[in-house]
Amino acid sequence: MVALIVILFPPLLIAFLLVMERVEEPLRRPTSQREVEEFLGSATPGEVGTLANSGIRRAMSRWRARRRGRARSAPRPVLTERHHAMADADVDPVDED
């Protein structure tokens, strides 16, 4: 029994370390400016609260998880400031004659 533990422990430890490396890789990757802009354009109030309370890393991980879940269902377009300006320009002003 001890021999079996001695034989299996090193490969199991290496396998665990390899799995942890894959888990830690996204955590080490810095947040890009594009991702921050998308976050600020589409964040929910809960995600903004997470940003205020826990910082950018936790807020971005929550936002990425929501975005991954949404990508599996129906994708929604993200409106940028340019799209908002174009949408505002399409609205007809009320005539005040």
What are the pLDDT digits (tens) for 24-49?
A: 887 787 778 888 888 888 888 888 88
From residue 54, give the alpha-carbon distance in Å to each of 27, 28, 48, 93: 15, 17, 10, 43
φ and ψ at residue 91, rounded to 5 degrees: -75, 130
The closest alpha carbon to 58, from 66, 73, 69, 47, belongs to 47
Q: Tell me if 76 sits within 8 A of 70, measured CB to CB.
A: yes
- Has residue 16 got a pLDDT over 90? yes
> For residue 89, what pLDDT is reported?
47
> For residue 81, what pLDDT is reported?
53
- DSSP string of 31-62, one letter each residue: PPHHHHHHHHHH--HHHHHHHHHH-HHHHHHH
- Has residue 57 got a pLDDT over 60? yes
